[in-house]
Amino acid sequence: MRLFSFLLVSLILVFSTVAGYSQSRTGYVTDRLILTFRQGPGPSYPVVKTLESDTRMTLLDEQGGYYKVRLSSGDTGWVEQQFVTFDTPKSQIIQQMKQEHAALKKQFTELSTAHEQLKNKLATMSENTEDLYQVLEKNKRLENENQQLAARVAALENESENLFKTRMIKWFLAGFGVIFIGWILGQTVSGRNRRQSSLLQ
């Protein structure tokens, strides 16, 4: 019984330790591979060199589960088929994605700058439009005031002309009246003198 309890406690401690360790770290299976580059199509042929993952090669022939390939350096040899893929390597895909991301980021920055410049330009145009509107309104107001002043000046000129004519008529009538009264007085005095002369004779 004691032995069973001891084993149970030990198992619990072991699983607890393993669980805690697995939760504390995150691991990934690596896709790095070292591939042997042989003189012939089989494990009995000498290894010329080793090739790392993503090494580019041109296929020349196929035999017994091996590919005869030519490297970019010009060397020819044999590699196992199961370790050759025709898909684009992940590292190149990641590199392409990084380049595309950098290009998109640059384009976004350029578009953001252009948008900010356009925004400032629109704000300036809006201010200029507001100033132009105020100038046009002021000009319109001045035109109305000018028309009102012109009408008032015309009325004053008309009134002045009428007043001048009225005064001329008054002056003419006054002068004519003075002359007429003088003439009547002259006639009266002349009549009296003639009467006095006739009485004396």
C-alpha span between 164 and 108 (Å, rounded): 82
Question: 36 or 30: whose pLDDT is higher?
Answer: 36
Question: 138 or 198: whose pLDDT is higher?
Answer: 138
| pLDDT(46) > 90 | yes
Distance of CA 131 to the CA centre of its chain: 22
Work out the average pLDDT over 78-95: 80
Q: What pLDDT shows up at residue 146? A: 74
Q: What pLDDT shows up at residue 82? A: 85
Task: For the chain, give every domain's residue range.
Answer: 34-85, 87-188
For residue 83, what are the contacts with CB-CB under 8 A and spacing of at least 6?
33, 35
Work out the average pLDDT over 153-160: 72
- pLDDT tens digit sequence for 158-171: 776 766 666 666 66
C-alpha span between 5 and 69 (Å, rounded): 63
Task: Name which of 6-10, 74-78, 100-104 the model is least confident about.
Answer: 6-10
Please identify, in words, the CATH class of the domain defined by 34-85: mainly beta
| pLDDT(41) > 80 | yes
Share of the chain above pLDDT 70, in %: 61
